[in-house]
A and B are shown apart, each in its own frame.
Chain A
Amino acid sequence: MWIVALFLFQHVILPDLPNVEKNPYTKAADIEQGKKLYAGRCAGCHGPSGDGGKGTNLATPVLPRGRSDLALYRVIRYGLPETEMPAHNMTQREIWQMAAYVRTLGKAGEGARGDIRKGEELVRSKGSCLQCHVLNGEGGHLGPSLSDIGVRRSPAYLRKKLVDPGQDLAGNFSLVNLTTRDGRKMTGVRMNEDTWSIQVRDAKLNLHSFWKKDLAELQVEQRTLMPSYAKQFDEKELTDVVAFLASTGGEQ
């Protein structure tokens, strides 16, 4: 029964899935054509360089929903049901060209060409990154997790963040300084906020929730506590650190 249902699903609902595993259209001319298709059809949600917007960030080395070429083809062709990702009724060739271009987004700029092992050492020692970031269960929680940062962020983005962490802050990351009406002061990271309340995590990982009417002062800033590593790391070290960070998460 289920086998029949599955058979029907694959052969009726997905009638024109290509019978190849690898993208057959990856030449420079294909990527160029894919870029044009992308600009018209994808950039609206995913951003002109794929780094996200309403749609997900595509400028990452690994696309969680498009790890294989065929998986990426499927997402473009049929969309993602119950999300805003629509189906695309293009020719197989056009879909492959678009997919080929999407693959380039995560490789834009720097590839992972440094020394991964050296990079990890720098993250753990000279960079003291684990004071604030967690890596596979080890380290602090003030900043975002590094365990799978390579899946979520492109090498170019990681380098940018190491050099100039304040630039292009994620929309949902904010530092909070507040004073309650009874005189308590607190600094922390915003976990959530709405019209009437705010939830904050302090440096010791204590979670707090406040009604805004109980606050005498509330400052929410799009600011990061992360220092710039532009001077602390030399060029070679930066490349190694980026290579290590880009390798995290890995294929699953």
Chain B
Amino acid sequence: MRLAIALILVSGLPAQVTYQRILKAESEPGNWLTYSGNYSAHRFSSLDQISEGNVSELKPLWSYQVTSLQKFETTPIVVDGIMYISEPPSNVTALDTRTGRPLWKYRRSLPDDVRVCCGQVNRGVAILGDLVYVGTIDAHLVALNAKTGSVMWDTTVANYKTGHSITVAPLAVKDKIVIGIAGGEYGVRGFLDAYDARTGKRAWRFWTIPAAGEPGNETWKGDSWKTGSATTWVTGAYDPQTNLIYWGTGNPGPDWNGDVREGDNLYSDCLIAVDADSGKLKWYFQFTPHDVHDWDATEVPVLVDGQVRGQPRKLVVFPNRNAFYYVLDRMTGEFLAGKAYAKQTWAKGLDDKGRPLREPKTFPSLEGVRVWPAVAGANNWYSPTYSPSTNLLYVAVRESGSTYFIGDPEYKEGEQFNGGGFRSVQGEQEWGAVRAFDPATGALKWEHKLFSPPWAGLLSTGGNLLFGSTNEGQVFALSASTGKPLWRFQAGGAARSNPISYLVDGKQFVAVTMGNALYIFGMNSMSALTE
């Protein structure tokens, strides 16, 4: 293995990243081939050179700084000694993993009137064959030559002037590039797309809001479906056995005024399972029917197998922004279990189909109503991790509430379409925690408290470690089995992304962005790296 990588580097001809390689990503832990590490979205690295026993000696080896002051949310992709990162707003850089030196840069010219609710960010690239794929803030999907950074094709996914943008990392499946859309605060009509990886031609589109006459359209009052949002801005998972892509959908629009869109508002705040070849909907599960708190279900779905009531089941588990943890059958979407995993005041619980039993006085009002969780939820776009070694699911949990207000739901194309607003609850100390759950039940195994609600995901490793990072600038490692803190580093900037791990010359490294820089940690000294 080590020798093979060395040979590849020497020869200077990285092997093509075939679909088969991504499918078997676990068999080459030296690389990080897809956003969540594997199609099951485990964000687990089996590498164990850095372990509980020696992590105290982990140190930063190199750093790469970006020039944009936008949030730096990328998950790097690492293939055969080269790291591909996106930089805000819509740029891509290939880095030499030995030295940290850029090999090429793609710098996109953007119009000055792009429309984003929450920053001109990008969460990463995908790789397939010899091409690197990035979604752009002006709603294009671009394919770059992995060796040179040259644009091979550039496809318009949607019109940015209507409030569409792309922040999500694409997912390469078979011969297609699956990409979602953002714009849930602009009253767009959401969709999930797949493009031919070679040509950039659209292969299919699944509209996340059914059109008039289609099943589910009756869950929208009048024409409200046309501006109902339900965007798809976080990378999903894929199961080759079911050939289904699992993808979360965002809030219905307008966010906080549900009066203009009476009904359940399908398929907003759902997990959708669509056929990877056709984009046809196989099943859906709606977490928050008729959402009025902006609780997008755009979290990362995690595919695990587990025992439910004594029966082995293929599961998809989902710690939702709405503060409930869901266990679903990933073949059928059947609700198997669910429970609150953070403070929440909006539902008495879930019924036996998983539908929330809503508390009546939790709808936004002119005076404002206090509800937990906060608008940013108990979880958000950043990644959880599942370790097959410990059989635990780890989530960076946010403990906070918001005061929610209703407002005027006037729609104007290309304008924010919120129908209200929110603010933090005065006098409440927000906090966060890393929590370890039994994935099949959501039962809490341990917790490590964090000073503030995190905006960064987690990585578990074969060294029984759990890596995470904080708003206050620390990268940290905990024992994956007990939660005991073992190591940390002050990186000097708030964490807004997810860690990964990989090998260079047979040595293990951990990478994560902090503030406006990418940091690489390892056990080796820098000189050993450059020799």
Contacts and interface: CB of A to CB of B under 8 A. Distances in A.
Interface in A25-73: 36-37, 39-45, 47-48, 52-54
B334 interface: no
B196 interface: no
Contacts of B470: 194-195
B69 A82 contact: yes
B349 interface: no
Contact of A84 (B118, B405, B422): B118
Given A84-B118, A87-B113, A194-B451, A40 B424 contact: no
Given A43-B407, A194-B470, A53 B419 contact: no
A48 B421 contact: yes
A207 interface: no
Chain B interface, >50% SS class: loop
Contacts of A82: 68-70
A53 B416 CA distance: 18
B313 interface: no
In this complex, the member of A43, A45, A89, A195 whose beta carbon has the largest number of chain B beta carbons within 10 angstroms is: A195
Chain A interface, >50% SS class: loop
A81 B237 CA distance: 33
B420 interface: yes
Interface residues on B, range: 35 or more
A86 B414 CA distance: 12
Interface in A129-178: 168-169, 171
Contact of B423 (A47, A90, A220): A47
B368 A48 contact: yes
Contacts of A171: 424, 426
A122 B208 CA distance: 63
Contact of B427 (A44, A169, A196): A169
Contacts of A39: 405, 407-408, 420-421
Contacts of A54: 423
Interface string B426-441: 1101000000000000
Nearest to B472: A194
A89 B421 contact: no
A88 interface: yes
Nearest to A90: B415
Interface in A215-246: 220, 222
B419 A40 contact: yes
A86 B407 contact: no
B119 interface: yes
A44 to B, nearest CB: 4
A195 B474 CA distance: 9
Nearest to B375: A44
Interface string A171-209: 100000000000000000000011110000000000000
A29 to B, nearest CB: 16
A195 B450 contact: yes
A13 interface: yes
In this complex, the member of A78, A82, A168 whose beta carbon has the largest number of chain B beta carbons within 10 angstroms is: A82
B449 interface: yes
Nearest to B112: A13
A148 B470 CA distance: 32
Nearest to B71: A84
A171 B450 CA distance: 17
Nearest to B185: A44
A67 B410 CA distance: 29
B421 to A, nearest CB: 3
A11 to B, nearest CB: 13
Contacts of B476: 195
Given A168-B426, A195-B451, A41 B418 contact: yes
A53 B118 contact: no
B316 to A, nearest CB: 31
Contact of A86 (B115, B408, B421, B450): B115
A44 B118 contact: no
Contacts of A87: 112-115
A39 B416 CA distance: 11
B406 to A, nearest CB: 9
Given A39-B408, A195-B472, A196-B488, A44 B449 contact: no
Contacts of B426: 168-169, 171
B169 interface: no
Interface string B61-72: 000000011100
Contacts of A40: 254, 407-410, 416-420
B415 A43 contact: no
B450 A89 contact: no
B447 to A, nearest CB: 12
14 contacts: A37-B408, A39-B405, A39-B421, A40-B407, A40-B416, A40-B418, A43-B405, A43-B420, A89-B113, A168-B427, A193-B472, A194-B473, A195-B450, A195-B474
Interface of B: 68-70, 112-119, 161, 254-255, 368, 405, 407-410, 412, 414-424, 426-427, 429, 449-451, 470, 472-474, 476, 485, 488
What are the nearest 7 A-B pairs in CB distance?
Answer: A43-B421, A194-B472, A53-B423, A39-B407, A44-B421, A82-B69, A195-B451
Given A45-B421, A88-B416, A171-B426, 14 more contacts: A40-B408, A40-B418, A41-B416, A48-B368, A53-B421, A78-B112, A84-B119, A87-B115, A89-B113, A169-B427, A193-B451, A194-B474, A195-B474, A196-B485
